[in-house]
Structure 1
Amino acid sequence: MIMPPSSSKLFASLQYLLPQHGLSRLMHRVVRIRRPWFKNAMIRTFCKLYRVDLTESICTSPDSFECFNSFFTRALKPGVRPICSEPDGIACPADGVISQIGAIEGRRLFQAKGHCFELAELLGGDDCRTAKFENGSFATVYLSPRDYHRVHLPVAGTLAAMVHVPGALFSVNVATTENIPNLFARNERVICYFDTVAGPMAVILVGAIFVSSIETVWYGEVTPPRSKTIRRWDYSGQGLSFERGAEIGRFNMGSTVIVLFGAGHACWRPEIEAGLSVKMGMSLGSYR
């Protein structure tokens, strides 16, 4: 449902007043409750409210999940998300909706009408990394509550580094992206850097309100615990390589993924535009 402008602004403004991290910590506990009567009722209510399709899931019965978080991060049946077949294709990292896609204008990215944000701020103030993506390309995918919430690699690559940038936990839906400046550079995020045949690539998992944790397959839960300072991990030389389409992380409750490429390396398909529903694995474009 699309909110009228006045309601959208009110919804965004109220989020400044909420105890965002406290609500996230509470959600982290609630979604891991294993009492059958509680988790089954929660899962069934959620499925009805958001019209979740469990036919694609390995577990097709709401009662078969050990807790709500297991349901929310559910694995899919093999083959239901085929990876694009083009040798130079850039695979969509997640199910969701394209929030924005296009070129990085110097060191600025487009967020929504009337709002841009700085690449350096998004990357936690790392000037060296920022320079690698200057005048490059980006794609932002919003994951709604009903979506599959695992994140996959758009292009085969080797993990170079990971950075956790603490921050706020505003919602990342349309109403908020249109009304809160610098949203993605303000929210908590986990930045994963890869070396690929398409040059440097970053896959950024952006937190949001009620996102109780973000995890990666090589580290586990990056958050919580929360941190007030930027944390960095160097994986260069460890040979952690992943094929295109490989799972690299997940949101334990919903959010947004941003993919970055360096200048001249990504060419987006013209029909892929803001507002388009996408599935993990489909082609967003090609690399050069």
Structure 2
Amino acid sequence: MHITNIISQYFGKFAKTEFPAFIQKFINKIYVKSLKLDMSEFRNEKFYKSLNDLFTRELAIAREINKDEKVFISPTDSLITQCGQVDGDLALQIKGMEYSFEELLTYNCADNFSKLVDGEYMNFYLSPKDYHRYHAPSDFEIKRLLHVPGKLYPVNLKYLNKQIDLFAENERVILECTHEDKIFYMVFVGALNVGQMVFDFEPRVETNTKIRDIQIYEYEDMKIKKGDCLGYFKMGSTVVMFWEKDFVQLEELTGQSVKYGQSICKKLN
């Protein structure tokens, strides 16, 4: 087991511990203050019984989402570290640092690689202060989920600039999705101190464990509605999306912060 996995497991144990109420309130207050969390859409920090509860907090106020059927919305509150057209099979984790979607998605998705060549991609970085739940960017059907064990390097801007193939090295969960007759992928990338990635529709997925082999789950008629909560990170991390060629037109969002629910691209047809 890599040292990043061990560190993350220990942090995970601390984060899920429910300390006596007066201690937990103090921990929560320090966390909110030090990271300057905006809690205006959430319950007061004193109500969360552990750091995990605070990290994975639900919205207390329903958020407006773009309901246009042609629009894909951001699945997360995050920073767009890079987006654009895939160059063959290469995308950027950040300017000057390429990675291959073939390595990221693994050979198990090889049947669809030709569709993704010269398609579109977008990288969403969630910092520790962000809302950590992820939502459906459109109406779609999940065909498969792949859990790929790996390391847990940090995914902040510093590491994106120095760690080659970071996304493909880290543990990740891949959703293979279809929208009408088109395909897209959502890749949820683990990171240092992300004790777990949770998927509400698939309780069999357990990340950051001793599992070493790729786990594959296939579905029939697993339909998801735009805005549905898919699950959550237990700390900040990254989501990567790939769309097949000639499917969508991206908005130019590199370097910008986005909120779950806002438009990130539109279908071409």
Q: TM-score, normalised by structure 2?
A: 0.93
Superposed CA offset, 1:175-229 (max 9, x none):
1101111111111100011111361111111000000000111113531434211
d(CA) in 1 for partners of 2:96, 2:187: 23
Alignment of 1:87-236 (within 5 A): 87-126=69-108, 127-197=110-180, 199-220=182-203, 221-235=205-219
Shift in alpha-carbon separation, 1:40–1:160, aligned structure 2, 3 A? same
SS in 1 for 2:16: coil
Is 1:24 equivalent to 2:8 in the alignment?
yes
**Aligned Cα root-mean-square deviation (Å):** 1.5
Superposed CA offset, 1:8-61 (max 9, x none):
xxxxxxxxxx8211111111211111122443222111101110111201x2x2
Question: Which residue pairs with 1:285 in the alignment?
Answer: 265
Shift in alpha-carbon separation, 1:259–1:86, aligned structure 2, 3 A? same
Residue identity over aligned pairs, in percent, reads 27
Deviates more, 1:164-173 or 1:195-204: 195-204
Give the Å deviation of 1:99: 0.8
Letter in 2 for 1:228: R
Letter in 1 for 2:26: A
Give the Å deviation of 1:160: 0.5
Is 1:50 equivalent to 2:35 in the alignment?
yes
Do the aligned residues in 1 keep the contact of 2:184 with 2:244 (CA within 8 Å)? Answer: yes
**Structure 1 segments (4+ residues) deviating >6 Å:** none
Q: TM-score, normalised by structure 1?
A: 0.88
SS in 2 for 1:31: helix
d(CA) in 2 for partners of 1:98, 1:104: 16
Letter in 2 for 1:284: I
Could you list the runs of 5+ residues in structure 2 that have no partner in the other structure?
none
Letter in 2 for 1:119: F
Is 1:72 equivalent to 2:55 in the alignment?
yes
Letter in 1 for 2:131: Y
Letter in 1 for 2:214: I
d(CA) in 1 for partners of 2:113, 2:193: 29
d(CA) in 2 for partners of 1:198, 1:22: 42
Give the Å deviation of 1:274: 1.6
Is 1:243 equivalent to 2:225 in the alignment?
yes
d(CA) in 2 for partners of 1:226, 1:196: 34
Deviates more, 1:19-28 or 1:216-225: 216-225
